[in-house]
Amino acid sequence: MSGGLLVAGTTSDAGKSVVTAGICRWLVRQGVKVAPFKAQNMSLNSFVTREGAEIGRAQAMQAQACRIEPTALMNPVLLKPGGEQSSQVVLMGRPVGELSARGYHGGRQQRLLGTVLDCLADLRGTYDAVICEGAGSPAEINLRRTDIVNMGIARNARLPVLVVGDIDRGGVFASFFGTVALLSPEDQELVAGFLVNKFRGDVSLLEPGLDMLHGLTGRRTYGVLPFRHGLGIDEEDGLRVSLRGTVRESDVSPPAGEDVLRVAVCALPLMSNFTDVDALAAEPGVVVRFVDRPEELADADLVVVPGTRGTVRALEWLRERGLADALRRRAAEGRPVLGICGGFQILGEHIEDEVESRAGHVAGLGVLPVRVRFAREKTLTRPVGEALGERVEGYEIHHGVASVTAGEPFLDGCRVARTWGTHWHGSLESDGFRRAFLREVAAAAGRRFVPAPDTSFAALREAQLDRLGDLIEQHADTDALWRLIESGAPQGLPFIPPGAPA
């Protein structure tokens, strides 16, 4: 078998990432050697591979679904937004510059097509199957000419395309039909059919609509996946407007102690790797929410200042909203605060930035004895160390170089009283360290919270991936899906007018 598939979507957040991961996990359980691929990803949630390459966290999660190590081949182009108009371009795991949206789509993107196709060919030569994920919608008619992630790659690599639609949003039939009808005849030849995602209710009530959709488009539906809570792992969206009030889904088990522990995460602009707090939310009795007002810190037992793609901009935002003063008061009172990556830099005394914001010398919050200078070369590593008597693994993605002048050592950063700072992402996924850290937080907060002794974040992640595989196995036509991956799109699929505009 040497097959492939492109999982496209009617919209962003239709479920492409989790469907791709589910198909990967289903295939690997059938003994298929499979790899994920996303030609171009826009995300502030990224990961560092063992060879020191930066890729989207969604592709790292999909590689785990395949039970393989992630590599730069799986996500050759990563765009990290620095605002509404520009992004850092990461090529084969390394930053190569900042580009405006107009500059990128005006020519640079198309020149990357050769690199993207070479990476896909390399993976297809190594694995039995490669499951590719598209971006946004394949019917972005204004971007089709320079597309390298949807129909552009499907056409060049002759990949069959499965279109995923989120029925929970409504309008899924119009979205399916409209997606196909806005593609050129050559692109439509590769669109094999549809997959309904997040369905609630009786499938028999949906079937007449699926039959009508088949009659209108000549294309079948390959499955109807039911709505399931807690499957939105390693999210990609780096430009969501606000996460205020969003509550991370916590384990349904009751707390091991008498109290819960409340964690408030500052919803910084251009927040990056907010998946760091997923390991906290996985602990029974830990409630995690994102906040953007100082009064929302009052009842928090721990405040996390997460990573951000715009450290200086986030610092200004904290000051404008009164959160900066609230954080300083909190630290002075000895109430727990954790800064991660950009959040660590914000808590320091001074920032010198001629790279990211080009703001020059900027005063930090002065909570930690740290001075930060932004270097043009990005640090991309997978460190291993020890803290609170426990082994810790993490990964670093930052331009800021921190000089720690005092305080107690804490990973690569420091701690002063009950304020901790580190550049290490993912450290809380180390179970022993997370439990030791939460015990300190609970003691400082006066909470009778006890970390569960047997929570394994890695095991919970594996269970989630198996749930995704189960969704595909139980609710998709896997025989038809197998034929699609192995043999490509069916021949003779009809053209649906009007097609792509000239």
Question: Catalytic residue at 425?
Answer: yes
pLDDT value of position 244: 45
What is the per-residue pLDDT across 396-405, written as a single tens digit (0 to 9) for each?
999 999 999 9
**Residue 248 confidence (pLDDT) above 90:** no
23 band by pLDDT with thresholds 50, 70 and 90: very high
Which candidate, 39, 156, 36, 43, places its Cα nearest to that of 109? 39
DSSP 8-state symbol, 494: P
Look up residue 315 and give its two tokens: 């610092």
Q: What percent of the chain has pLDDT over 70?
A: 93
**Residue 242 confidence (pLDDT) above 50:** no
Query: How far apart are the C-alpha atoms of 148 and 414, rounded to whole Å?
Result: 43
Question: Catalytic residue at 414?
Answer: no
pLDDT value of position 98: 81
What is the per-residue pLDDT across 134-176, written as a single tens digit (0 to 9) for each?
999 999 999 899 999 999 999 999 999 999 999 999 999 999 9
Query: How far apart are the C-alpha atoms of 187 and 155, rounded to whole Å?
Result: 7
What is the per-residue pLDDT across 28-81, written as a single tens digit (0 to 9) for each?
999 999 999 999 999 999 999 999 999 999 999 999 999 999 999 999 999 998
pLDDT value of position 485: 97
pTM of the complete model: 0.92
Which candidate, 138, 432, 451, places its Cα nearest to that of 286? 451
Q: What is the DSSP string of 184-251?
A: -HHHHTTEEEEEEEEE-S-HHHHHHHHHHHHHHHS-EEEEEEEP-TT---S---S--S--TT-BPPPP
Active-site residue (options: 132, 341, 423, 475): 341
Mean pLDDT of 199-218: 96
What is the per-residue pLDDT across 473-502, written as a single tens digit (0 to 9) for each?
999 999 999 999 999 999 999 999 999 998
pLDDT value of position 249: 56
**Residue 440 confidence (pLDDT) above 80:** yes
What is the per-residue pLDDT across 354-379, written as a single tens digit (0 to 9) for each?
988 888 999 999 999 999 999 999 99
What is the per-residue pLDDT across 82-99, written as a single tens digit (0 to 9) for each?
876 788 999 999 999 887
pLDDT value of position 229: 77
Mean pLDDT of 320-325: 97
Tokens 């390298």, residue located: 148
Mean pLDDT of 226-236: 71
pLDDT value of position 306: 97
Average pLDDT of the chain is 92
pLDDT value of position 481: 98
Contact 466, 25 (CB under 8 A): yes
pLDDT value of position 239: 36
What is the per-residue pLDDT across 112-143, written as a single tens digit (0 to 9) for each?
999 999 999 999 999 999 999 999 999 999 98
**Residue 235 confidence (pLDDT) above 80:** no
Mean pLDDT of 252-270: 89
Active-site residue (options: 398, 399, 423, 425): 425
pLDDT value of position 271: 93
Sequence-distant (6+) residues with CB within 8 A of 359 are: 312, 353
Q: What percent of the chain has pLDDT over 90?
A: 84
256 band by pLDDT with thresholds 50, 70 and 90: confident
Q: Which H/E stretch holds residue 343?
A: helix 342-346
pLDDT value of position 106: 60
**Residue 236 confidence (pLDDT) above 60:** no
Query: How far apart are the C-alpha atoms of 239 and 137, rounded to whole Å?
Result: 17
**Residue 299 confidence (pLDDT) above 70:** yes
